[in-house]
Chain A
Amino acid sequence: MKIGDCMKRNIIFISSEATIREAASQMTACHIGLLPVVNRNRKLIGVIGLPDLLSLEMPAFFNLIADLDFVSDFGAAEFIRPTPEQIDLPVTTLMQPARSVSENSKMLHAYGLMLKHNLSDLPVVSENGQLVGIVSRVDIGTAILSSWDKIEASNP
């Protein structure tokens, strides 16, 4: 089985010309955690995820202190909101470089890639780099597991 067999083809994505604010409302409306960012030719140029957007709210100490177990309340930091200037910037300012696979990629390889890089969604691109689908860890994982049906029962 290939990625093309288990990926979602109706993809929610965002244009590289959109703002961070638009990305946030898109994510809220569709209840998703990752948006592929594409250019005018629908070529994948990056991804933007929940952590990238929420980094605008996270207090500085979050990244500075390894173990936060001694903190039970973020106090004033709980009320940090991004400024209008921050969220009206183009989405490309927070965008991360995308890892992607092709429709013909094998499943276990794609799953391994996600595991290694701690990704929960993986955009799928055509040969010329156009976004054609998206696949989640669950999509791939269950597709692989479904083949287990064909494993004969052992006879003790």
Chain B
Amino acid sequence: MKKKLPPTVLIANRGEIATRIVHAAQKIGARAVVVVSAADVDSLAARIADEVVTIGGPAATDSYLIPEYVAQAALHCGADVVHPGYGFLSEQADLVRMLEDEGIAFAGPRAETMEAVGDKSSARRVAKEAGLPLAPARRVRNLHEAPALASEIGYPVLIKAVFGGGGRGIRLANSEQEVRNLVSQAATEAKAAFGNGALYLERYYSAARHVEVQIFGDGEGKAWIFGDRDCSVQRRHQKLVEECPAPGLTPEQREILHSTARSLVEHLKYRGAGTVEYLVDTESDAIIFLEVNARIQVEHPVTEEAYGIDLVAAQLRLALGIDPGLPTVEPTPSSSVIEIRVNAEDPDSGFSPKPGRVTEFRVPQGPGIRFDTHLYAGYDIPPYYDSLLGKLIVRGYNRQQAIESLLAAARNIKINGIPTTLSASEFVLSHKVFQAGGVPTTWFEKAWEEYLAGTDD
């Protein structure tokens, strides 16, 4: 591969991940160029980058979400590779193709891979081909058979329209009686809404954990599996706390998770970093494939800290055509790592986002403490984007140690001038149900509600 030296990395993102990628690019000896909107010219990423390109107006729809602007910026600065971070254009096949046409590499999967795993039905087909465990489902050919099919699957079941979408018309049934009562109106509604009354039943898991596997592929079929993460502490589907490894899995469960994720990487000849998400049912212990996230994820640092690797640098190196620098032997986690997301939201007023000026900012130091952030004292947090300020990641030789150190670090971090979600994180970390490990995704909202009502113990 002919490359001018040093190579140039264009970072097509903002916030803490842009900062993270600038550091990774500079670490591998590349020149880091960051794209910014007009509202981000003072961002930390812009301050530490080797060059800054202003691509558009403050709204993400006028800047970070326009693939043409990013590709133009890549041409503008002579980029060898574009790193999209997460969110924004990270899973946009259009951008990948646009860059390919210009001979610019993309630090992520191929466009075809993104499309293959991008929509639910196509992802389900690919997962089935690769042998991943799917939720039991049956097509309803005749409404009279529905109760019998439901008992085959096991309760509770979801009644869904075959041609439906966007979660519309889905019904939950807990018993044979409910299935009998709900199928005919579901069929009528599906016919009215989607022009076809065809239904299917799918097993529903009401108390499941969110467990995911970190994958990395060289694009030619070689797979690295960097263990599992638990991201079950969520509020409105937003993850608050993540950890690696996932606590309380049996060796058999772990084997299913890792081996099926591996076969997916091999099947897709997956390129770069990605995540395979699963549900782990706390009642039946069943493992169910959810989806593939074809990008680096917010919570990647817990895996990096547990395994002693640099996933972002590996992505960049692979995209530049050099060895990704990952272990050659089967990797194992050497410690327990937990991350809390610190958002500019006020937990005391329904987690409403509150941008403003950071007047003071200090992070405690010590072994195994890492804070991935875009904050600095005096920074005005712009109101246009998500509220993530940073991620506090703490390592311990076991889970208990990690929890204790993280709790102490969370209590001693100083972010003044704006409200943060740190108090909610402290609530989670000091809660004995969380400390026991393996909470389902429904746990936090219930526990927080009880805490606010003063009915927790």
Co-assembled chains A and B: no
Measured CB to CB, the residues of A under 8 A from B are none
